[in-house]
Amino acid sequence: MYSVAINLRSPKDWRERVQLFVSKLESIMGGRLVSVIALPSEEELLYDSNVLVVLDEIREGDLERVASVAPDGVNPLVVPEEDEGAVEAFLLLGGKRVGPKGKVRRTLG
């Protein structure tokens, strides 16, 4: 079982693209998929990415497979589950409050 983290106050079209991406990831990665963490909007970037994909381990071809199913505007960063720093950074940035029309207001404190 894996977890998905997305701010439900994010713009609906962004959430739908992330959900589509998660569905495609489930199909191609199966039980190797550990977590998917989306930032509050397409414009938010961390390490030049807006969605973190956590796999049990990184194998040859994984980066290309993940990128091949990413919808427009979804820029995935793929890491192994040992990369706790990337997971923590995405969760912290993803915890920003999103106000009306998807505008980021401030970080939860």
Residues 62, 41: Cα–Cα separation, whole Å: 24
| Topology of the domain comprising 3-107 | Beta Polymerase; domain 2 (3.30.460)
Pick 100 or 22 by higher pLDDT.
22
Domain ranges of the chain: 3-107
pLDDT in tens, 48-81: 999 999 999 999 999 999 999 999 999 999 999 9
Angle at CA of residue 93, ends 29 and 26, nearest 5° = 10
Query: How far is C-alpha 99 from the geometric centre of its chain's CA atoms?
Result: 20
Contact 64, 37 (CB under 8 A): no
pLDDT in tens, 11-32: 999 999 999 999 999 999 999 9
Angle at CA of residue 66, ends 22 and 94, nearest 5° = 55
How many angstroms separate the Cα of 93 from the Cα of each of 26, 82, 85, 90, 104?
24, 19, 12, 5, 10
Residues 109, 21: Cα–Cα separation, whole Å: 29
